[in-house]
Amino acid sequence: MSERGFSGSYLPEDVTFLLKRVELAPTEIAEKERLIQSGQRHYSEMLSAEERPDDAYLALFEHALAVNRERFAADVARLARMLDVRHKGEIVLVSLARAGTPVGVLLRRALLHLGRRAVHYSVSIVRDRGIDWVALDYVLGRHRAQDVVFVDGWTAKGAIAAELCSSVTAYNAARGAELDPGLVVVADLAGMATLAATDDDYVIPCSILNAVVSGLVSRTVLNVDVVGAGDFHACVYYRALEPYDVSRRFVDDLSHAVERALDDPAVTPIEWDAARRSRLAAISERFVNACLVRYRLVDRNRVKPGIGEASRALLRRLPERLIVREPGAVDVGHLEHLAGARRLTVEHDPGLPYRAAAIIQTLGKG
């Protein structure tokens, strides 16, 4: 059976990761990409090595944090107020590890500031394989289904939001549960979120780092070699990166800004309705379809719209090119740095509906 959870490098009260800590030999990025695209392995079965960010990249992170601190804090405050209105009693935040984890930590603290009772778990969800049912069983063994809220950082194409809906719906049917499969995010580019604070593609500061801003936890793993019956999905805890960890500093810094935003009457939720979501979904679909034609792709998963997904692609995948709307803009500085280090093609597209996008290399078929 899985352990009862751990908090990574966060304070224990900030989050409980419902993940099984394991050791897993890293797979070189190019080999991982080859195995994924050939269909020999699923992406969730492998991890590439995570290195410490270099000083230049950390400086870009600090700059992105300084520029976007108040905006990001205001968006978290908006989400907290929306949840405060919609939910009575305890609010059980279930973030999707690991992009959703820092947001979950900040939301819990914001809800406490509003006088609400809140608890935060972080669980695994894997595209094409679903959310961790063992983790959901754990949560529902301790809390009411109607109090659970699923949280992530952003949507790009909406693949994870769709996976969440499908998987939670199946879980409800199998378990006789009544979990709401909707997703709450800071920025919804795809029109797939139940609640969001914005639809703008801007730098969410924690999106541009990996483990060192996410509790030193790896991307989640679903591999039969390390995950057995009754186990949570797995992760690696990167103890070697502890000297470079900014996870707790990040949430402590942002928490003060979120509290200021919560106390500011000018920070109010936006109207998040079906018309807005439909418009965003149509933009997303047009963009992805245009990329499939333009770059001669078959697999939609090779298209990574938005700053957050482009950042993840350049950090841990084998990208072919970076596309930016405004070269040299503050929000894409870290992406241009990564692209330069990897000698990637950087394409300027002033008509891009997002500030950035990335295209993953094709190894074999499109």
pTM score, two decimals? 0.94
Write down the pLDDT at residue 1.
40
Residue 2 within any structural domain of the chain: no
CA–CA separation, 184 and 329 (whole Å): 28
Residues 6+ apart with CB under 8 A from 153: 99, 100, 102, 103, 185, 186, 187, 204, 206, 207, 308
Residues 247 and 285 in one domain: no
Q: Where does a domain end: 262, 283, 312?
A: 262
DSSP secondary structure string, 209-236?
-SGGGTTTBPSPB--TTT--TTPPPEE-
- Check which CATH number belongs to the domain holding 287 and give it: 3.30.1330
CA 342 to chain centroid, in Å, comes to: 23
Residues 177 and 212 in one domain: yes
Q: Domain range holding 336?
A: 274-360
Residues 245 and 318 in one domain: no
Residues 234 and 312 in one domain: no
Candidates 200, 194, 215, 175; CA nearest to 14 is: 215
Residues 234 and 283 in one domain: no
Instruction: State the 10-residue block means of pLDDT for the chain, 366 residues long.
Output: 77 97 92 89 91 90 92 97 94 96 98 98 96 98 98 94 97 98 97 96 92 96 94 96 96 97 93 94 97 94 95 90 95 93 94 96 69
Residues 114 and 250 in one domain: yes
- Check which CATH number belongs to the domain holding 231 and give it: 3.40.50
Q: Burial code of 294-326, b = ≥16 C-beta within 10 A, e = fewer?
A: ebebeeebbbbbbbbbbbbbbbbbbbbebbbbe
Write down the pLDDT at residue 2.
47
How many structural domains are present in the chain?
2
Q: How many CB atoms lie within 10 A of CB 87?
A: 17
Write down the pLDDT at residue 365.
53
